[in-house]
Amino acid sequence: MNKSYLAGLLLLSLPAFSQTNPLKTKVSIAADKIESKVIDWRRDFHEHPELGNNETRTAAIVAKHLQSLGLEVKTGVARTGVVGILKGGKPGPVVALRADMDGLPVTERGSLPFASKVKTQYNGQEVGVMHACGHDSHTAILMGVAEVLAGMKADIKGSVKFIFQPAEEGSAPGVEGGAELMVKEGVLENPKVDVVFGLHIWAQTEAGKITYRPGGMMAGVNDMQIIVKGRQAHGAAPWASIDPIVVSAQIINNLQTIVSRNLNITENAGVVTIGSIHSGVRSNIIPEQAEMLGTIRSLSADDEKLLISRIRTIATKTAEAAGAIAEVKIPYSNHYPVTYNDLALTEKMLPSLEKVAGAENVKLIPAITGAEDFSFFQEKVPGLFFFLGGMPKGADPKTAPSHHTPDFFIDESSFKLGVKALTGLTLDYMEMAKQ
């Protein structure tokens, strides 16, 4: 049979399946029933956040829950990750579902009764720890999905691999972690995964809504380090120096021309940001060198190559013109590919999202320049990643506290939709694979 014709049949059949599948009624009832448990799990995780590669308490709770459901469970994956496998009663594909577990070095400022009071050491200093990006929600939602699907194991046409991932927010420089390490350790094998789904709670989208984008949905990211080496001198005699601070300032200004003058912004966005510059110890000493740290964001592999090439050229040549040396390291500590939603998969699964949320509540959005290491899974198998609204209804997205901030807030009424969405995607994909 012609492949395009078959694909058309699948697309036509999915809406009908979404409406008639008897398991959908079971899912809806089970999701309603488990909502309070998901909220309780999330509140517990929120009160006890853990930084990347240190999610030992969280991982233990997840593993115990999966084991109680009768799943095959593996711990210590990519240091602190947990993987659970549910084998359905009928043959079919392997669907992977992913949630990230780590918190951030952010001190919580809200007045929630379950607000975090955790403090730890990070980069040599004491910091607060907070689930300021919603990973506590992701973990709790996926635990709920596991319980719902385990309750209908006999009817499932395939297997489900539940991936609870550490260190999505990154690891220390020189330390592998997160999704990239999970992939290297074979998380998508044994059994081999056919497709992967994931979600991210979104504090600027109203609860009850889902947003998505085919293709490049979130940017690829590289961090960078630029070290400018000059010649030290007394601050009273700047002519005796090669001032790395002045050179760094010139480099920063010149870097701002890359996006505006080299990138075709009608096709994709790009970002070049210097977020840190450090040099010197006192006012009357021109130092020997300066260090800059920054981030590069792009929405295609070609744009990524362009941005990196121009940064290297501008930094080294600007320094050279001043008699200094610039050493550029890209990536410095981490690199995430573009979070790319497989085009065919997104088209096939859109009716499933529309069914659980209502078509009017599923919206196409522009690409965003935030990054997600879910992209490492998508490099290996077709994947779909979407945003789950978590902003209280009626709130203004322009003033709602954003991710990675002390006032970050999530409306817990969104969790039930998250459970239904991931469960629905799993069952619908399995049904399509059988046709």
User: Which of 185, 288, 347, 412 is an active site residue?
Assistant: 412
Matching residue, tokens 């497989």: 342
Three-class secondary structure of residue 90 per DSSP:
strand
412 noted as active-site residue: yes
Q: How many other C-beta atoms are found inside a 10 Å radius of the C-beta of residue 284?
A: 8
User: Which of 180, 212, 336, 429 is an active site residue?
Assistant: 336
Picking from 129, 131, 116, the residue whose alpha carbon sits closest to that of residue 203 is 131
From CA 423, how far away is CA 212, in angstroms rounded?
17
Contact predicate 411/393, CB 8 Å: yes
Contact predicate 295/223, CB 8 Å: yes
- For the purposes of burial, counting CB atoms within 10 Å of the CB of 42, is it exposed (0-12), middle (13-18) or buried (19 or more)? buried
From CA 345, how far away is CA 347, in angstroms rounded?
5
From CA 187, how far away is CA 190, in angstroms rounded?
8
Residues 313, 314, 319, CA angle at the centre, nearest 5°? Answer: 105
- Sheet strands (E) in 262-372: 270-278, 285-286, 289-298, 325-329, 335-336, 339-341, 362-364
From CA 428, how far away is CA 356, in angstroms rounded?
12
Measure the CA dihedral 21/27/28/34, to 10°: 180
Beta strands 362-364 and 210-212 are: parallel
55 noted as active-site residue: no
Buried b (16+ CB within 10 A) or exposed e, 53-78: bbbeebbebbbebbeebebebbbebb
From CA 276, how far away is CA 291, in angstroms rounded?
8
Token pair recorded at residue 65: 């829950």
Q: Which residues contact 90 (CB under 8 A, 6 or more apart)?
A: 155, 156, 157, 158
Q: Where are the alpha helices (DSSP H) in 322-389?
A: 343-357, 375-378
Give the residue numbers marked as catalytic: 336, 412
